[in-house]
Amino acid sequence: MDRIRRNERLAAMTRILVESPNKIFTLGTFCDMFGAAKSTLSEDIDILRGVFAQFHLGQLDTVTGAAGGVRFRPVPSPEEACRAVRELAQMLAAPGRVLPGGFIYMADILAMPDVVEKMGTIIASQFYRAEPDFVLTMETKGIPVAMMTARALGVPMVIVRRDSKVYEGPAVNINYLAGSGGRVETMSLSRRAVKEGQRALIVDDFMRAGGTARGMVDMMREFSVTVVGVCVLIATQEPAKKRLDGVKSLLVIDSTDESTGTAVIRPANWLCAAAEKAAAK
Amino acid sequence: MDRIRRNERLAAMTRILVESPNKIFTLGTFCDMFGAAKSTLSEDIDILRGVFAQFHLGQLDTVTGAAGGVRFRPVPSPEEACRAVRELAQMLAAPGRVLPGGFIYMADILAMPDVVEKMGTIIASQFYRAEPDFVLTMETKGIPVAMMTARALGVPMVIVRRDSKVYEGPAVNINYLAGSGGRVETMSLSRRAVKEGQRALIVDDFMRAGGTARGMVDMMREFSVTVVGVCVLIATQEPAKKRLDGVKSLLVIDSTDESTGTAVIRPANWLCAAAEKAAAK
């Protein structure tokens, strides 16, 4: 193999690190790949860390210890996160999206890879320290954003179903209160989907009264799994009292007006307050 | 701003290109970002193209013309694609996955970001030339792989539902034959999800008789959308006569045995034949 130059190594390492977020690569992996010494690769990593920081391309960390190495996390800056969520709010508040009953049509936007990937990285960035083992969501619309959150965290996603399926094997079914009216509905999770003692991050697209999120928390109790956080992409301001406390949301719907077909949607306070604080530094 | 060195530029450009697969970036974008001349950036791109090819990191293309620039496609080599699909076949064929009725439990694997991302890039690589405007799938298990296919193609995903939802607005419902028994079921797609004249790539996780895939093709006809391809992750060998012709699959299930709990699963012929041909060159 020809000798690899530094700029070639840096490009290849960037591609490899970025493709597997939150995965720790040992220096040895790269030594073997490029036929370079550890000291050389340490310098490479220092350069990459600087470039990533300078151009806001995410965070490169050196992890020490026996299982140590280098790891990439696609953490956006507070300003970027606020701006991306503000842009999404504008897309969702566009005229014509309000449906009968005050619902907002968002199925199209929630399935755009670039949008949900950005939102997934913002959600993940809030929960790296909580070290979830998996991301739990309920079918259907929340799956893309939950998937992208799981990708950024480097963990699997687990999908709760509306009913048990022959191809999921033995399952635990629980009842929960759905919608603001409080209909009793059923959710189902395969017995083999998660293991006792694991840590779950619950992610969903939308929360009004919080019944579904509450149901997922109850479901995790049945499996003796610890819930390390609950985050939804969009929550409604009303009802102020939710069925579950401590839920984080990126966006808030203040109101929808069927007669004019418009909605008032904004980034959650915690999100842009952090950005403003950072900007003021 | 300090002058950016070449190795820093290459790392930053790699991160940016790789984050948005199949998106064309003009040289001007990078000129502005790094304060460098077009000729310098052309050299950068040449270096990157070489590195990506050498380490099998995907494909970097220069696109000429008015809308020209540079674009990254995460195209795996035939050998890599064959190997990744073979690994997936082994995971799915592991003992204990066969459920009553001969179904195979695969919900866990189909929601692992790294697995479905790899499969999504393999599917996408077969359809870049077909230029789909969106990836169509039916809820639920196929969503992750469809999402990752859409990501690799740089297009949105569209999800067909099992019934119409208040938050999807006016919808088209059609009936289709589900399962090998041929039950009549309903699928539903929001009127505003797709536009007349668009091009659809249909992606799903699993196909036995092909009724669901056929239903999605029929649905696209209702919307005057052209179907440019149909690809499933896994198809069963039986029945040999499917309800839809010309469906590509990455994996084939030859048989499942409930009494021993084992299944025979292998990469589709077209996939590894290509790899063997390339290896023989």
Secondary structure element (H or E) that encloses residue B21, with its range? none
pLDDT score for B1: 46
Q: Which residue of A has its CA nearest to B56?
A: A12
Q: Is some CB atom of chain A closer than 8 A to the CB atom of B158?
A: yes
Shortest distance between the Cα of B19 and any Cα of chain A, in A, equals 8
Mean pLDDT of chain B: 94
pLDDT at position A2 is 57
Match 């974008």 to its residue by tokens: B29
Ordered DSSP codes for B124-168: HHTTTTT--SEEEEETTTTHHHHHHHHHHHT--EEEEBSS--GGG
| pTM of the predicted model over 0.80 | yes
- Nearest residue in A to B113, CA atom: A151
pLDDT in tens, A6-52: 999 999 999 999 999 999 999 999 999 999 999 999 999 999 999 99
SS3 string of B230-270? EEEEEEECCCCCCCCCCCEEEEEEEEEECCCCEEEEEECHH
pLDDT band at A280 (very low <50, low <70, confident <90, very high): confident
Residues in A touching B263 (Cβ below 8 Å): none
Residue of A nearest to B47 (CA): A8
pLDDT at B254 over 60: yes
Give pLDDT tens digits for A214-270: 999 999 999 999 999 999 999 999 999 999 999 999 999 999 998 888 899 999 999
| Chain B residues with beta carbon closer than 8 angstroms to that of A154 | 113
Q: Which residues contact A49 (CB under 8 A, 6 or more apart)?
A: A60, A62
| Chain B residue nearest residue A8, CA to CA | B51
Cβ–Cβ contact A171 with B under 8 A: no
Cβ–Cβ of B111/A147 closer than 8 Å? yes
Note whether A85 contacts B: Cβ–Cβ < 8 A.
Answer: no
Convert the pLDDT of each residue in A165-213 to its tens digit.
888 999 999 999 987 677 999 999 999 999 999 999 999 999 999 999 9
| Contacts of residue B255, Cβ cutoff 8 Å, sequence gap at least 6 | B237, B263, B264
Distances (CA, A) of A60 to A17, A44, A126: 9, 12, 16
B190 touches chain A (CB under 8 A): yes
Tell me if ipTM is over 0.90: yes
**pLDDT tens, residue by residue, A53-74:** 999 999 999 999 888 899 999 9
Taking CA atoms, what residue in B is nearest to A170? B99
CA distance A105 to chain B (A): 6
Q: State whether residue A76 sits within 8 Å of chain B by CB.
A: no
Q: Which of A8, A48, A140 is facing B140, going by the closest CB pair?
A: A140
Q: Which residues of A touch B111 (CB under 8 A)?
A: 147, 150, 156-159
Q: Does B41 touch chain A (CB under 8 A)?
A: no
Nearest Cβ partner of B107 from A58, A106, A159?
Answer: A159
B24/B101 Cα distance (integer angstroms): 48
Interface test with B, best of A13, A99, A112, A147 (most B CBs within 10 A): A147
Contact A97/B at CB under 8 A? no
Judge whether A249 and A234 are in contact, CB under 8 Å.
Answer: yes
